Each structure stands twice: as structure tokens, then as C-alpha cells.
Chains A and B, each alone.
Chain A
Amino acid sequence: MKALDQTLALAWRSLVQVRRNPWELGDYSIQPILFLVLFLFVFGGAIAGSPENYLAFVLPGVIVMNMLFVTVYVGHGLNTDLTRGVFDRFRALPIPRWAPLAGRILADVVKQLLCIALLLVVGFLLGFRLETSWAHLLAMVALVLTFAVAFSWVMVLVGVIARDPEHVQLFGFTALFPVTFVSSAFVPVDTMPPWLQGFVQANPVSLLADAARALMNADGPALEPALWSLAWALGIVLVFAPLSVYALNRRLARG
């Protein structure tokens, strides 16, 4: 009960921080809208014949891409705390050692939820209509959030290893761009060269985008890509959580 209270206080703190960080705020609001509108009106005609036809395809893709970009702030925030000494202040307090991280990830879930809601509203204003049910939509949101929490562990590792917050962002986005774009998030896989298709189909971003699309548009099987996405999520946690904890302990032991 006390630990929960402490985690909530730390999550509150991560959310209050956003108020004073216009760049971060922009990344949660302007950037996703910008991506959606750009993709829609610049590529829509070329990819799907018209922006209207592209909207249902690209909206789930942008939701997935934005989710990945938002996780970079988990690493960014953690690294800021480590380099600025805030982490040590927390460690000298009578709170569970996992609480600062849990608070950060909880705050991240709230941010993710707001981003998804924002994109759905903007999508609706642009003409998107749900072809499935609210239950399917909720399943999509739950799936994306679950993957976000799992993927946060990758960014935790980056946050622990990086020298300063700027490097977290540099590394985070540099790694995320190819992973996001070499996927089915924005274009159908069958338009790509065969040698690339194998990679794209195994890419968790593709699987997640396919599942989200099926859950919003009823245009294909949802269960299979959803289960594969969850398998990826589990695999990521199994590899990156212990690595992150190991790296964190090493960093803290350096003095």
C-alpha cells in the first residue's frame, strides 16, 4: 500500500515534469499529429490512391510508431535522474529500490494513453471510422500499451548506459527509425523487395501494426499477429530487464 503510494507520487512527478519541457510536450502532441497528417497527405495518394483510402491503413501504423518514440523518454528521464543526482536522493529515501523505475513506467503508460487518444480523435476528425467494436479498440490499446511497457526495458538499458540525456535521444531515435520504417506500419509488405520481406514480417513493429489494423479495421486476422507481438514483448522483457538491472547496479557501484 505504501509502496503503491510512493510509486504514484513518483509517477505524478514524471508527469508534472512534462509541463516544463516544451520539447517533450511537443513530442507527445504536435509530433504524432504532424506524422499522421504528413503521411496521409504526402504519401496517401501514392500508396493508396487517395488520402481517404490511406487513413485506415496508416492510423494504426502511426499509433505504433509514436508509441515507440515515446518510450525514448523513459530512458531520457532515467538518465537525467542518474546524471543529475536525483536518483541518489531517491535511493537514500526509505522507498523500495524499484519504485523510481515503476513510477516512471507508470507515467509513461499515462503519456502513451493520452497520445493514442489524441491520434484517434485527430483520425476521427480526418474521417476515420471504426470498423470493429469498442471492445476491439480497447484490445488494440491494451496490446500497444503492453508492448510499450515491455519495450521500455530497452530504453531503460539505453538510459543506464548512455553518458548523458542527449545521447539517449540520439541513440534511441537512430535505432528506432529503421526499425519503424522497415516494417508494415506505413506500406503493405508485398510492395517491398522479396529479400526485405522476411525481415519486415518478423519485425515486431509490423506484427503490432498488423494486429492494431485488424482490431480497428477488421481487414485481416488479429489474433495471430497479436500473439506474436506479445511473444516479442515477453522476449524483450526476458532479455532486457535483467540486462538493465545488471547495468544499473554496475553504474551505481562505480560510485
Chain B
Amino acid sequence: MDNAIEVEGLVRDFGGTRAVDGVDLRVPAGHVLGLLGPNGAGKTTVVRMLATLLTPTAGVARVGGFDVARDGARVREIIGLTGQYASVDEKLTGRENLILIGRLLGLKRRDARARADELLQDFDLREAGQRPAQTYSGGMRRRLDLAASLVGRPRILFLDEPSTGLDPRARRDLWERVRQLQTDGTTVLLTTQYLEEADALADAIVVLDHGRVIAEGTAAQLKARVGGRSLFLMVARAEQAAAAGERVAAMVGTPPRVEGETISVPVSDPALLPALLRELDAAGIEVAELGLRGASLDDVFLSLTGRSGACREESGNAEDTP
């Protein structure tokens, strides 16, 4: 069996709303797939269907070769789930949480304890393991969540927005752990709003918007789709940024993203750079910096959806609203 996850024409309705609208996915065993999209794109709904928490309205999904709708029990034996919705018991200590999961997975009491201690060690939670989970910091909580989903050494792991609300250091630590899992041969499906996260972790990326797949490929392929390059312009005075943006739009043909003094837009023809510089000069706009860089996934998202990718301010607070 080559594909750990196979999804065809997956649909899910909630009342009259179609949250997932005909999604196809294929994740080869041992690969990391990044499911990328803004809030409300349908990422979590896809994961919940794959983890057998939600029945598909239509379509077929096979996880580890088992149909999620017909063989749910078999699917649950080989998956791990961590995310916004699958959480630990706050009143239990970290260690008790892991022991409970071990016991539920059929481990003997002693084996469940040994496995819990092993995971606490791996996840730098040995001391915290004796404290109730409600006293943990966001980063520790997420590590415990991840550890809890690994108790049964799942072949296939679902990570639903694993780094939402984490500070940069905790995020990097989490990435390291996901890379380790990948090295160990675990298939990972990870959803994220962070383009850099998909770029950093995923072998392949599927971009989801309004419940549909709008693009897929490796990070490099996606970047190549938008010309591979991105124009980066910084004006000396912020009040000239809007005017500069209009000139760039006229020349490139795509409305750029303007943030403060910086303007960026995906470009396909690097030769327009000197022309743009002359144009800006003629308009009396002072240029502090002008150049090309490799397109980021943010640019990809912008060119695919006409919107900027992540809404970081919102997602930073998402953790506090269960």
C-alpha cells in the first residue's frame, strides 16, 4: 500500500452550508502533507472526518487502507490526533493523562506507566508530569497534547493547527519534533494557517479555500507557479507607499501587498525592475530598497486567493477560545 491517506471527492455539509466541497488528497506513507488555508477553509473538518470524528456527507476517505465511514474502529487503531479539538484532561497530571491513554489503548498498568515516563522524558515534561495539566504553559500543553497522541506509536498522525498560539521558540521546538516523527517513518497530515510552517515541514502542500483544493504541490512547485520570484520594494517615506503601490500594480498587473513602507508582489519577468525604478524616480518616489527574492508561500496564497494568507492576530488568540 503506497498511500497512507487517500481521499476522493470528500464532502461535508453542516445544515445548509457546505464546509468541505469535494476534496481529493493523497499522502504517501511516511510523508508529511501540509493542509494550508485560512480560518474557515475546511481544514479542521477534513481532519475530523479522517479521524472518524465526523461522518462524510459524500465521498470516500481511506486511512491506512481502511474506509473511515465503514472501518472506523480499524482507523482509530492506527491514528493519533492532536489539535484544537482533541485535548488532554486539565484536572489530571501530565503523567496521569498519558497513563490513561496507554490504558485505553490496551497497555498493562506497568507498561502504560513506562510508556508515559518515556514520553515525558522525550518531551521535556518530566518534572511537569507530576503537576495538573491546567498549570501548564501553552507550549507545555501542546507538547503534552502531542505526547498523548503518540502513546500508541501511531503510523498516521493528524496535527490540527499544532502551533497556533505558540511563541516562536515553542513553535521551532514543535517543528523539530515533527521532523523527528517524519524521520521515524510516521505519516503526518498537518493543518496550518502559517505558510512558513507548511514550507518548513511538509513534503507536499495542499491549499484549501472555501472547502475546495485551490492548489497543490511541493513548496517549490507552488512558488514556481507564481513566477518563482517576488518583487520587494521599500520606500523611504511611508506616505509614498500607496503611490508606489499603484505604480507597481500598473506595471506588474497584480495588486501588491503594501505594509508600512514595504511593497511586495509576485513577478514573472525580472526585467521590469529597471523600468520600475525609472518610473518611480520620475514620479518623485524615493526608493530605499528594491530587489527580487524567492516567492514566499504568502505570495502564493496572495496570488491564488487574492487575499493575504495568515491572519496572525486572530489565530494568536484562537487558543483561548475553545
Let me know if A6 and B103 touch, CB within 8 A.
yes
Contact residues, B22-81 vs A (CB, 8 A) = 44-45, 48, 51-55, 73, 76-77, 79, 81
Task: Pick out which of these stretches binds chain A: B85-93, B279-287, B298-306.
Answer: B85-93
Residue pair A5, B101 in contact (C-beta under 8 Å): no
Q: Does B218 contact A (CB under 8 A)?
A: no
- Measured CB to CB, the closest approach of chain A to B76, in angstroms, equals 4
Report Cα–Cα, A17/B101, bound state, in Å.
15
Q: Is the CB of B91 within 8 A of A6?
A: no
A residues 73-131 with Cβ under 8 Å of B? 81, 83-86, 88-95, 99
- Residues of chain A within 8 A (CB-CB) of B100 are 9-10, 12-13
Given contacts A6-B104, A20-B132, contact A13 B89 (CB under 8 A): yes
- Asked if residues B96 and A16 are in contact (CB atoms below 8 Å), the reply is yes
Q: Show the binding face of A for B, using Cβ within 8 Å.
A: 2, 5-6, 9-10, 12-13, 16-17, 20-21, 81, 83-86, 88-95, 99, 252-255
Docked pose: A83 CA to B51 CA in angstroms = 18
A-B contact pairs, 28 of them (CB 8 A): A6-B103, A6-B106, A13-B96, A13-B100, A16-B91, A16-B96, A17-B89, A17-B92, A20-B92, A20-B132, A21-B91, A85-B86, A85-B322, A86-B88, A86-B89, A88-B86, A89-B81, A89-B87, A89-B148, A92-B51, A93-B76, A93-B101, A94-B76, A94-B106, A95-B104, A253-B54, A255-B19, A255-B48
**Residues of chain A lying within 8 A (CB to CB) of residue B73:** 94
Measured between alpha carbons, how far is A89 from B87 in the docked complex, in Å?
6
**What is the minimal beta-carbon distance from A97 to any residue of chain B, in angstroms?**
9
Q: Which residues of B contact A (CB under 8 A)?
A: 12, 14, 19, 44-45, 48, 51-55, 73, 76-77, 79, 81, 84-92, 96, 100-101, 103-106, 132, 134, 148, 322
Chain A residues touching B, majority SS: helix
Residue in B77, B88, B103 with the greatest tally of chain A CB atoms within 10 Å: B103
Do residues A83 and B322 form an inter-chain contact, with CB atoms below 8 A? yes
A90 to B53, CA, bound (A): 10
Q: Is the CB of A2 within 8 A of B106?
A: yes
| Nearest CB in chain A: distance from B140 CB, A | 16
Which among B14, B77, B104 is the interface contact of A255 at CB below 8 angstroms?
B14
Contact A255 B54 (CB under 8 A): yes
Also in contact, A255 and B87, with CB within 8 A (given A85-B322, A93-B101, A93-B104)? no
A10 and B104 in contact, given A91-B53, A92-B52, A92-B79 (Cβ under 8 angstroms): yes
Q: Are A88 and B85 in contact (CB under 8 A)?
A: yes
The closest CB in chain A to the CB of B52 belongs to A92
Task: Tell me which residues across on chain B come within 8 A of A83, comparing CB atoms.
Answer: 322
Chain B min CB distance to A3 (Å): 10
The answer to whether B96 and A253 touch across the interface, beta carbons within 8 angstroms, is no
> Shortest distance in angstroms between B211's beta carbon and chain A's nearest beta carbon?
12
- A32 CB to closest chain B CB (Å) equals 22
Q: Which residues of chain B have C-beta atoms less than 8 A from A5's C-beta?
A: 103, 106
Known: A13-B96, A86-B88, A92-B86. 13 other contacts (CB 8 A): A16-B92, A20-B134, A85-B85, A86-B87, A88-B87, A91-B52, A91-B53, A92-B53, A92-B76, A93-B105, A94-B77, A95-B104, A255-B12
Shortest CB-to-CB span from B15 to chain A, Å, is: 9
Q: How distant is A247 from chain B, measured CB to nearest CB, in Å?
A: 16
Given the complex of chains A and B, what is the CA–CA distance between A85 and B47 in angstroms? 14
Given contacts A20-B132, A253-B55, contact A89 B88 (CB under 8 A): yes
Question: How far, in whole Å, are A153 and B12 apart by their CA atoms in the complex?
Answer: 31
Cβ of A88 and Cβ of B96 under 8 Å apart?
no
Chain B contacts of A92 at CB under 8 A?
51-53, 76, 79, 81, 86
Q: A92-B79, A94-B76, A94-B77 are in contact. Are A84 and B101 (CB under 8 A)?
A: no
Q: Which residue of A lies closest to B101 (CB)?
A: A93
Taken together as a complex, chains A and B put the C-alpha atoms of A94 and B76 apart, in Å, by 5
Docked Cα-Cα span, A10 to B100, in Å, equals 7
Residue of B nearest to A21 (CB): B91
Q: Would you call A254 and B14 a contact (CB within 8 A)?
A: yes
Minimal Cβ-Cβ distance residue in A for B73: A94
Q: Which residues of A contact B134 (CB under 8 A)?
A: 20
A93 CA to B149 CA in the complex, in Å? Answer: 9
